[in-house]
Amino acid sequence: MTKFIAKRLGISLVILLLGSALLYILTVNSGDPLQDLRESNSPNRENLIRQRTLNMRLDVPWYLRYFTWLGGASKCLIGACDLGKNIAGQDVTSLVVNAAGSTLRLVVLATVLAIAIGVTLGVVSAVRQYSGFDYATTFMAFVFFSLPVFWAAVLLKNYAAIKFNNWLVDPTFSPVTIVVTALIAAFVLQAAMGGNARRRLITFAASAVVFAGVMFYFDAVTWFRYPSIGLPIYILGVLGAGVLVLSMTSGFDNKRVRNAVALTAVVAIGGYAAVRGLLMESPSTPLLLLCGLAGLVVAFLAGWFLGGFSRKQAVIASFVLALVAAFIAISDLLLSNWSGYLKLQSRPIPTIGSVTPNFTAGYWGHTIDTLTHLLLPTIVLTLVSIASYTRYTRASMLDVLNQDYIRTARSKGISEGKVVTRHALRNSMIPLATIVAFDFAGLIAGAVVTETVFGWQGMGNLFRQGLLQIDPNPVMGFYLVTGTAAVFMNMIADIAYAFLDPRISR
């Protein structure tokens, strides 16, 4: 395995080197960086041309400029990057550092959401093959796959930001809206759950009543202006997540895994109840990370010491529950501070920029402001990416579900839930290891358009400005970050594939 990893690392470095040379050649030959000055009527035009020539080293052959850039970029290995200056004389390294944070947090979040949603839809679609849900999922996957990024971004800006902000002034639901929304949501849920006609009818009726009741409650208490989960709902959420995790892993008959998950749930509930007040009054990122780390440590210890012969399953189940409990806790804290944020931002869903300039607020106010700026561009990139995961997961699951060992598992009386989650799903994930890497690179390319529409000062803007000004240094800074990230993801995918299938590393 070590030899395989070293080989992949060497190939990745060669690809980065060749790609950087090709991109530099294409950039410097794409136009004249002095064209705007040559057409200028300024009396000191010749002096401006001379200064820009010296600043961009245009009197030096392109290959010498490339090797100078390569030498500065290689210093990144020791933490001393020198990416030169742009056409305006600004330090490109500083520009890249500021822009990379915006782009990578956008792309990484979109990737995680696309994987979670796409894989889930793909699994359910495969299990409910040729059902109405399967046809609807397939149709929507093709729609999202062919969706123009700029068009989806404009629609979201209009409906999910402008019109939503208008509605949020007086967030009420009409009786017709409640009934229609509840019926549609119940219809989708019963299609996903499947079963015979009687089971579908019961699911539809119960779901419609629940959805209508929830919407009526939201309307009555003006929940969208004063939202909160609260400790009682948090407790129910953690317990429900524990039941779901057990049903999808070992089942309820395995006492050791059940005890580990139960202990994790009890500690999560007790721990959050103890620190919730502190996190509301005196929050900080280190404190949140410490609480999250403590929850994961407890989950590991519970699974390790209570798992017995099922130690691996117990650790995984406990870890998943700890992550879900942390997510619910963060959601509760954010929602509890939403009303305070609305007092500072009457139109909370922004349509442009990655942060609100000169925004003064506390810790949770700044956190909510950052997340609301992430919301729309993340949705755009997720919708574009989700189709690939849905289709590949469905195809892979169908292939695995038709294997002999799956039929053997069913013939032994193993429940369908365990067959799908413990046997089929795990093996169907192997092809997706490669898809993640390609999709990550595609999301980076899509982020260029998305950042332009939403006015983000990220890597896409840096790349676009560099191309327009025939300035290679910002373009190469974009390549250094995004190209390295894409190649790194491909290398991780190769290594993950080798771990999942040992034959690959031979």
Q: 394-409, pLDDT tens digit by residue?
A: 988 998 888 888 888 8
Amino acid at site 307? G
Q: What is the pLDDT of residue 428?
A: 80
Residue 504 has pLDDT above 60, yes or no: no
DSSP-assigned states of every residue in 220-259 = HTTTTTS---HHHHHHHHHHHHHHHHHHHTT-SS-HHHHH
Please provide the average confidence, as pLDDT, over all residues in the chain.
86
Non-local CB neighbours of 152 within 8 Å, separated by 6+ positions: 380, 383, 384
* Cα dihedral: 469, 472, 476, 482 (round 10): 20
Adjacent-strand bridge partners of 91: 85
Determine the pLDDT at residue 369.
92
DSSP letter (8 states) at residue 403: S
Kindly list the domain boundaries of the chain, sorted by start residue. Answer: 2-97+447-505, 103-428
Please give the Cα distance from 464 to 475 (Å, whole number).
8
What does the block give as tokens for 332?
């509760």
pLDDT tens figures, 182-228: 999 999 888 877 778 888 899 899 999 999 999 999 999 899 999 98
Cβ count near 499 (within 10 Å): 12
Share of the chain above pLDDT 90, in %: 35
Give the residue-averaged pLDDT of 438-467. Answer: 80
Whole-structure pTM value: 0.83
Dist. CA 424–CA 415, nearest whole Å: 13
- Greatest alpha-carbon pair distance for the chain in Å reads 89
